Amino acid sequence: MKAAILGATGYTGMILLRLLSEHPEIDEIIAVSSSRAGKSIKEIDPGVYTAVKNKTKLTGGELLSVAEAAEMQPEVTFAALPHLESAKICAPFFEKSVVIDLSADFRIKDPLIFEKAYGQPPERQDLLNKAVYGLCEIYHDEIKTANLISNPGCYPTATMLPLIPVLKEFGVDGKIVVNALSGVSGAGKKAVFNNLFVERTENCGAYAPAKSHRHQPEIKKELDIALKSAGRNGDVNLFFTPHLVPLKRGMEITTIIDIPEETASRLSDEALDKLYTKYYEDSSFVAWDSGRLPQTRDVWGSNSCRIGWKIEGRSLMLFSVIDNLVKGASGQAVQNMNIRFGFKETAGLRVYGEL
């Protein structure tokens, strides 16, 4: 099978190259870069080139333009492109390829909410309803037949995997407070002062707090859907505050949610263990542990999400970690491809974190 990667030289694109180099079902990788078309992957990363050499025979390892890639008719296209550009650039692929879009362009179906978050209306409103939200463990069935998969962001993935089962099972009383820690690669490969080594090492702090982060609406919308799908009323009142910490890769989420009085009596370590078993028993990538808080290193380089918790009266604290570039981006994209094409769901993906 042929896979195209649009935006192959960014961080998520480069991770996709690595993951697909080991993927047993992908024979040919078409690497695309508008800004560096004509150059070789070898110039970008010689080790990665070695890894994909046998899978880039049609292109000789050369980076193609979008138009050239479209002509090669890949069966699956990964779009690792900036928000607000992706939907436009992907146009030549929607018809003949399964598109897995890692940008935010198809994540919010309501054009008004989209515009509020991103400052302009969605580019392709015609495709919004076709797009399936690719949070693999939650939308597994829908993904199987989707031709446009909107890959979730790293913050939403890490926040929602522990939270959705809780919301459905117990509901919520009052606001949900989420504090997130993110590695610097989450900001993408951008040569701006704020991403410099000297600015970020020995430094950390919060940004875009409470309801001002642009990915807050994506999370809130999905939590509202979860609540409604369980027959519960009301809107989620979400306070989401990200913090930048001096990690290259990694994301940790600390959530506090109050359980309503009517369901609180059921809240226990055993009940949570049972709950996650119900939701994630068949998933290779979600793991939980009542007696141990997860650390980002547990999942560094892997497609896993690890969950821990602490009950304090009616308040429940949830802790989750992912690798923002893998389960938070490229790894989940590959997982989506695996589900969509009926491959083994773990193909090309790791479950353990690097030392």
Binding to its own copies in span 269-298, by CB under 8 A = 284, 287, 289, 292-298
Catalytic residue among 90, 136, 154, 305: 154
- The residues in 304-333 that bind its own copies, with binding defined as CB under 8 A, are 304, 306, 310, 312, 315, 317, 319, 321, 325
Site string (1-20) toward its own copies, x via CB under 8 A: ----------x--xx--x--
- Do residues 271 and 319 touch, judged by C-beta distance below 8 A? no
**Minimum distance from residue 172 beta carbon to its own copies (Å):** 14
Distance CA 181, CA 246 (A): 10
Residue 13 or 74 having the CB closest to its own copies: 13
Q: Looking at beta carbons only, is 177 or 225 nearer to its own copies?
A: 177
Q: Examine residue 46 and tell whether it contacts its own copies (CB under 8 A).
A: yes
Q: Is 336 in the site for its own copies (CB under 8 A)?
A: no
116-120: long-range contacts (C-beta < 8 A, 24 or more apart)?
Answer: 116/217, 117/214, 117/215, 117/216, 117/217, 117/218, 118/83, 118/84, 118/214, 120/84
Q: How far apart are CA 154 and CA 327, in angstroms?
A: 7
* Residue showing tokens 């997130």: 180
Minimum distance from residue 103 beta carbon to its own copies (Å): 19
Cα–Cα distance measured from residue 29 to residue 99, given in angstroms and rounded to the nearest whole number: 15
90 is catalytic: no
- N-terminal to C-terminal alpha carbon distance within the chain: 33
- Contacts of its own copies in 176-205 (CB under 8 A): 177, 179, 181, 184-185, 189, 191-193, 195-205
Residues 6+ apart with CB under 8 A from 7: 13, 32, 33, 79, 80, 81, 82
Among 57, 96, 211, 274, contact with its own copies (rule: CB under 8 A) = 211
Among 61, 217, 301, 348, binds its own copies (CB under 8 A): 301
**Owner of token pair 């508008």:** 34
Cα–Cα dist 37/62, whole Å: 7
Residues touching its own copies, count (CB under 8 A): 81
Would you count residue 174 as binding its own copies (CB under 8 A)? yes
Q: Which residues are catalytic?
A: 154
